[in-house]
Chain A
Amino acid sequence: MNTMQNSDPAPAREFDDLLAKLKEAQRRYGYVSQEFMAETASSLQIPISEVYGVTTFYSFLSTRPLGRHVIRICKSIPCYLKHAEMIIDSVSHVIGIRPGETTSDGKFSFELTNCIGACDMAPAMLLNRQVHGHLTPEKIAEILSACK
């Protein structure tokens, strides 16, 4: 156990905080590109596999471009019990894509997510970073048509 600890590299401090850089790229460009990963790896002098490993670990980091609006429907049990499947179908119906896809005009990305802590408002979703709860197909149509 101790050998394992000792063989770990010295703990990183903020100035080379990889995750912070990746979150910033996600915020600024809407995704973490291969070019960005390569540049970050060389500027921090770490293997590109490490950068890729961190990027793909987190569900709010994406390696492909996301749409201007990201829809994340909660698929966890409390929302499932309140008919999240119906909400998933109605989103598909309104924007014409399945979970995991982005519309060809780059307007919407559609994702499923694990519990977002809005179980008292199930079924719920995150639209970009805002929570919408007590969803119905009618409400979905209304919310999505308000997106520019």
Chain B
Amino acid sequence: MPEKKILLKHCGAIDPRNIQTYIDRGGFSAWRKARNQMTCEAVVAEIKDSGLRGRGGAGFPCGVKWELARNESADEKFLICNADEGEVGAFKDRHLLSHDPFTLIEGMAIAAYAIGVRRAFIYLRAEYHHLLENLKNALVQAEQHGFLADLTIEVHEGAGAYICGEESALMDSLEGKRGEARFRPPFPPSQGLWGKPTIINNVETLATIPHIIANGAAWFAQIGTEKSKGTKLFSISGDVANPGVYELVLGSSLKELVVDLAGAEKVKWVQVGGATGGIVPFSVIATPLAYETVLGSGAVMVFDETREVLDFVYRTVTFLAEESCGKCTPCREGTEAMLQIVERLARGDGQAEDIQALEELSETMMLSSLCGLGQAAAIPVLDTIRYFRNDYETRIKQAVFLRSLRHRF
């Protein structure tokens, strides 16, 4: 399946600082169509029928989520655009925000109309401060053109914390607190920001909305696989000749992205979905990119044959231990315990029981952590044990041997 430009179609073709260039290419016609020809319920139904699933990593059906919030009765409801793109290797939202902030704004205006929201937020990570002026400029222009007549969109800057990309932590941060994951239920569509019904969608999800409304659910639903509709943005980095953002029809093979488009050679493995993403060894690189297989946020990191598996695992677990919010014990203590084991393995001082210890620890963390960080932290560890067990065992054997020498002499 080929590259297909839906989300990227305006990138490079419009001036992100001039809304007129977007309007000239049909911009805000979907918003007009939704407002003039469709009821709020019809818009929600259209998104539901399209099969669109969240593009931030979790993949929850977007229309189903909207319907939950739509059906809540409350004096106030909120919409939050999650622009806290902190996933390691992810920069597709940065690409959209820099080259086409208008499609996102149009998508937010349609979402707000459908759900019944008058106040929306864009939570922009602190590391993306360089995008702020462009984004604010786009919002001012959209307002001047009357596209935000009954909606205010405020940009709220983060302050540096990976976990704030997790939706419940994001809401705590927006409320001015430590960004810590919340216990669920209640889920955000019933009780979210300041206890009100709240919809949180990723930048890419919201930027897909205008295309669905303009072309119809049926058009969107015929692209992709049975459970993964539409196209997806991928940000690819690491050992490739052409790093960057690519848009592919869901179900396309990882090989097409990594080898054919990004020009990787002598691939050893690929991590798909960021720090907690799954590992795909070269032997199965034809794996389709879809919710059914591997996808996540679309961050793709490529490692060639010169790379050491344990060096990678050590760096990944270090990152997760640093970024665990600390609220729940399985994640706070689990990532640290995991790091201790992985660190000694990487250093060449591992013990025979270490692989089993990692597996047991992983089970506890996956089962009992409060949010996705702790639940998924074990994925790169378990996947590398599964595909590169030999790398682990060789390191351990060497360590045991070297220790025995130290005792002898």
> Given B161, B179, B243, which contacts A120 in the complex, CB threshold below 8 Å?
B243
Contact between chains at A19 and B176 (CB < 8 Å)? yes
A23 interface residue per 8 A CB criterion: yes
A78 interface residue per 8 A CB criterion: yes
Given the known inter-chain contacts A1-B185, A76-B88, A78-B301, please indicate yes or no for A54 contacting B178, CB distance below 8 A.
yes
Contact between chains at B87 and A120 (CB < 8 Å)? no
Which of the 9-residue segments A4-12, A88-96, A101-109, A137-145 touches chain B? A4-12
B28 interface residue per 8 A CB criterion: no
A29 interface residue per 8 A CB criterion: no
B186 interface residue per 8 A CB criterion: yes
Contact between chains at A76 and B159 (CB < 8 Å)? no
Contact between chains at B315 and A77 (CB < 8 Å)? yes
Near A by CB (< 8 A), chain B positions 89-118 give 89-91, 93-94
Contact between chains at B85 and A117 (CB < 8 Å)? yes
Contact between chains at B243 and A11 (CB < 8 Å)? no
Contact between chains at A60 and B126 (CB < 8 Å)? yes
Near A by CB (< 8 A), chain B positions 291-336 give 301, 303, 307, 312, 315-316, 319, 322-323, 325
B195 interface residue per 8 A CB criterion: yes
Contact between chains at A20 and B176 (CB < 8 Å)? yes
In whole angstroms, how far apart are the Cα atoms of A114 and B87 in the complex? Answer: 9
B317 CB, nearest partner CB in chain A, Å:
12
Contact between chains at B186 and A12 (CB < 8 Å)? no
Interface flags for A9-34 (1: CB within 8 Å of B; 0: not) read 00111101111101100100000000
Contact between chains at A117 and B160 (CB < 8 Å)? no
Contact between chains at A119 and B315 (CB < 8 Å)? no
A45 interface residue per 8 A CB criterion: no
Q: Count contacts on B: residues with CB < 8 A to the other chain.
A: 51
B12 CB, nearest partner CB in chain A, Å:
15
Contacts of A1 in B (CB 8 A): 183, 185
B204 CB, nearest partner CB in chain A, Å:
14
What is the chain A residue whose CB lies nearest that of B154? A14
Q: Count contacts on A: residues with CB < 8 A to the other chain.
A: 40
In whole angstroms, how far apart are the Cα atoms of A118 and B89 in the complex? Answer: 8
In whole angstroms, how far apart are the Cα atoms of A59 and B130 in the complex? Answer: 17
Near A by CB (< 8 A), chain B positions 177-203 give 177-179, 183, 185-186, 194-195
B173 interface residue per 8 A CB criterion: yes
In whole angstroms, how far apart are the Cα atoms of A76 and B160 in the complex? Answer: 14
Contact between chains at B319 and A76 (CB < 8 Å)? yes
In whole angstroms, how far apart are the Cα atoms of A118 and B228 in the complex? Answer: 27
> Given A22, A58, A116, which contacts B161 in the complex, CB threshold below 8 Å?
A58
A85 CB, nearest partner CB in chain B, Å:
11
B175 interface residue per 8 A CB criterion: yes
B339 CB, nearest partner CB in chain A, Å:
15
B256 interface residue per 8 A CB criterion: no
Contacts of B179 in A (CB 8 A): 57-58
Contacts of B185 in A (CB 8 A): 1
Interface flags for B28-69 (1: CB within 8 Å of A; 0: not) read 000000000000000000000000000000000000000000
Given the known inter-chain contacts A77-B238, A80-B315, A129-B130, please indicate yes or no for A118 contacting B175, CB distance below 8 A.
no
Of the listed residues B125, B161, B176, the one surrounded by the most CB atoms of chain A closer than 10 A to its CB is: B176
B244 interface residue per 8 A CB criterion: yes
> Given A5, A13, A18, which contacts B183 in the complex, CB threshold below 8 Å?
A5
Contact between chains at B301 and A114 (CB < 8 Å)? no
Near B by CB (< 8 A), chain A positions 97-148 give 113-120, 122, 126, 129-131
Contacts of B129 in A (CB 8 A): 129
B86 interface residue per 8 A CB criterion: yes
Contact between chains at A59 and B160 (CB < 8 Å)? yes
Contacts of B173 in A (CB 8 A): 19
Contacts of A26 in B (CB 8 A): 159
A86 interface residue per 8 A CB criterion: no
Contact between chains at A58 and B159 (CB < 8 Å)? yes
Interface residues of B (CB under 8 A from A): 85-91, 93-94, 125-130, 157-162, 173, 175-179, 183, 185-186, 194-195, 235-239, 243-245, 275, 301, 303, 307, 312, 315-316, 319, 322-323, 325
Subset of 22 A-B contacts with CB under 8 Å = A4-B183, A13-B194, A19-B177, A20-B176, A23-B159, A54-B176, A57-B178, A58-B159, A59-B161, A60-B160, A77-B312, A80-B315, A81-B239, A114-B323, A115-B86, A115-B87, A115-B162, A117-B90, A117-B94, A117-B125, A118-B94, A119-B301
Q: A77-B238, A78-B89, A78-B237 are in contact. List 4 more A-B contacts (CB 8 A).
A: A11-B195, A57-B325, A60-B159, A117-B85
